Structures are given as C-alpha cells and as structure tokens.
C-alpha cells in the first residue's frame, strides 16, 4: 500500500469537471475580457511571433507565415478576439536520439498563439503551480536531487 500524500496548506484543489465536460474544456473566453484584449494586441502577437521563431530551424511553414506576417498576425488577432480560433492539426514524427519516441509539433501559427497566451497567463500560472512542476517555468526552478538516488 502506497503512502498517502497530505495536502499542502494554501493549495486549492479544483473541483471535478461536470459530467460530459473534459477537464481542459473551459468554454469560450469572453471577448470583452481586458486580459484577452491585452494578450492579443498586435505588439504582443509580434513579440510572440519572434519568440516562436527563436532557436528553431527555418521551415517552409515559417517562411509562408513570414511572407504575410502582418496579415497573418491580424487574422490571428481577429480570430482570437472573436472566439473563432481553432488549433490546427499537429504533425507527428519520430525522433531516435537518445531513444526512439514520437514527437507532436503544433503548426507555426499555433506556436505564435501559445507564446502570446503564455506571455499573458504565464506569471499567474507560475505563481499558482507547485514546486513539483518543472515544465514551461520561467523562474529557475531546480529539480530536487533526490531523484538521482
């Protein structure tokens, strides 16, 4: 029998989702929300575009997006604000280094949206996440050394 974990003080557990609703389905974001309007300003989307490009090898999809960058960013802004944005299909490929695994990659336009929304919501999420979460953290959180034992 495993050890029972105690709740950490100050941590709030989310209620279970209603029947028939997925945990991640939060419904539409209100279009008049000031956070959405700020997160989808052209300047923020342009910064997100640059962040999505940073450190990535050039691809044909990135080149197509860059050819019409302003038009594409304005179209993203409009679809995010009116609630019609839908993520595109992920492409999957196998990587064999250091071991074989399947990787799923979002389309470039979706990566721009991910960067824009995480730039807006990231600080709030970072403060709310517990110390056991290491993915997508902006602060230099270090994994405890006990996993090496």
Q: How confident is the model at residue 144 (pLDDT cuts 50, 70, 90)?
A: low
Which residue has better confidence, 124 or 105?
A: 105
* Separation of alpha carbons 31 and 35, rounded Å: 10
Percent of the chain with pLDDT over 90: 33
Residue 147 confidence (pLDDT): 52
Percent of the chain with pLDDT over 70: 67
Indicate the average pLDDT of the chain. Answer: 77
29 pLDDT exceeds 90? no
The model's pLDDT over 5-23, given as tens digits with 9 standing for 90+, comes to 444 444 445 555 555 544 4
Report in angstroms the alpha-carbon separations of 42 from 19, 34, 35, 45, 70. 38, 15, 14, 5, 9
pTM flag (> 0.85): no
Domain ranges of the chain: 29-86+100-124
4 pLDDT exceeds 80? no
Residue 76's nearest CA partner among 103, 36, 105, 104 is 36
* Separation of alpha carbons 57 and 111, rounded Å: 14
65 pLDDT exceeds 90? yes
What average pLDDT score do residues 111-125 get?
87
What average pLDDT score do residues 111-135 get?
81
Which residue has better confidence, 42 or 148?
A: 42
Q: How confident is the model at residue 126 (pLDDT cuts 50, 70, 90)?
A: confident
């Amino acid at each position: 029998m495993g050890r029972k974990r105690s709740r950490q003080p100050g941590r709030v557990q989310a209620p279970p989702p209603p029947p028939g609703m997925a945990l991640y389905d939060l419904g539409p974001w209100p279009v008049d929300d000031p956070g959405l309007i700020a997160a989808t300003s052209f300047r923020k989307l342009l910064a997100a575009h640059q962040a999505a490009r940073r450190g990535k090898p050039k691809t044909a999809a990135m080149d197509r997006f860059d050819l019409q960058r302003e038009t594409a960013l304005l179209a993203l802004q409009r679809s995010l604000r009116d609630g019609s944005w839908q993520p595109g299909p992920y492409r999957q490929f196998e990587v064999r280094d250091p071991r074989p695994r399947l990787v799923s990659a979002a389309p470039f336009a979706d990566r721009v949206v991910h960067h824009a929304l995480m730039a807006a919501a990231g600080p709030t999420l970072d403060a709310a996440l517990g110390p056991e979460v290491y993915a997508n953290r902006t602060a230099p959180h270090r994994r405890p050394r006990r996993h090496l034992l």
